[in-house]
Amino acid sequence: ELLGITAYASCCMGYEFMESAVLATVLVALGDGLVIPKMKEFGHLFPGHPMPRMVFMWAPLEASFALTAFGILTGFASPAHQPPSNVGMVLFASTLRIVATLACGALLGTLSGRLIPRREELVIRGTQVFNGTAVEAFLMVSAVALIAFGMG
């Protein structure tokens, strides 16, 4: 999909290659909103068929890839009337951003994995703070995800 959209935008629409690639990373991620509801419907019509499960496993990976590619390619796309971007600096910055994201994600995941199961042990002034329900754990995981999202 990514290569097809890039080729179409370059050849038929007259976009430069980098503009076409950025457009492709935007449009390829839109497919999940169309495909997932159809796969749910397909799963109800044909219970036990393996295709919906495969699509549900692949869709988040495809969206993650598209978002990563978009982040990298936008660094290469130079706005009109601006000098071209330094390729070495863009590659270094993108690599550094990916490594920092993975490191922060691993740290947050490790801390969450160790602290959330032990939340019932937290006592302040003799009062247990958390009661250990599943909803409480879900809200804590959601909070960690929002914190990570806010960090950029």
Report pTM.
0.55
Determine the Cα–Cα distance for residues 4 and 21; give it in Å rounded to an integer.
Answer: 10
Kindly write down the DSSP assignment for every residue of the chain, as one continuous string: -HHHHHHHHHHTS---HHHHHHHHHHHHTTHHHHHHHHHHHHHHHSTT-SHHHHHHHHHHHHHHHHHHHHHHHHHHPPPTTSPPP-HHHHHHHHHHHHHHHHHHHHHHHHHHHHHGGGGGG-EETTEES----HHHHHHHHHHHHHHHHHH-
Q: What is the pLDDT of residues 1-39, one digit of tens each?
A: 788 888 988 898 888 888 888 888 877 766 667 677 877
Q: What is the pLDDT of residues 84-141, one digit of tens each?
A: 777 788 888 888 988 998 899 899 999 999 999 999 988 999 999 998 898 999 999 9
